[in-house]
Amino acid sequence: MPKVIHLHRLTPNKPVIGEPCNGCGACCAVEPCPMGILISRKRHGRCDALLWDDAQTRYVCGMATQPKAYLAVNWTWLNRRLSRWAKRWIAAGVGCDSHCSTDIT
pLDDT tens, residue by residue, 72-84: 877 888 888 988 8
Is 76 among the domain residues? yes
- Is residue 59 within 8 A of residue 5, CB to CB? The reply is no
- How far apart, in whole angstroms, are the C-alpha atoms of residue 83 and residue 81? 5
In a domain, 62, yes or no: yes
Give the per-residue pLDDT at 41: 92
> Is pLDDT larger for residue 22 or for residue 91?
22
Question: Is 100 a member of any domain?
Answer: no
Q: What's the chain's average pLDDT?
A: 86
Statement: residue 62 has pLDDT above 90: yes
DSSP string covering 9-37? TTPPPPPPTTSPP----HHHHH---HHHH
Structural domain harbouring 88: 1-94
CA atoms within 13 A on the CB side of 39: 26
Q: Is residue 99 part of a domain?
A: no
Q: What is the pLDDT of residues 12-56, one digit of tens each?
A: 999 998 898 899 999 999 989 888 998 899 999 999 999 999 999
The reply to whether 101 falls in a domain is no
pLDDT given at position 105: 47
* Angle ∠(21,42,78) on CA atoms, nearest 5: 70
- The answer to whether 2 touches 24, Cβ cutoff 8 Å, is no
User: How many domains, in total, are found in the chain?
Assistant: 1
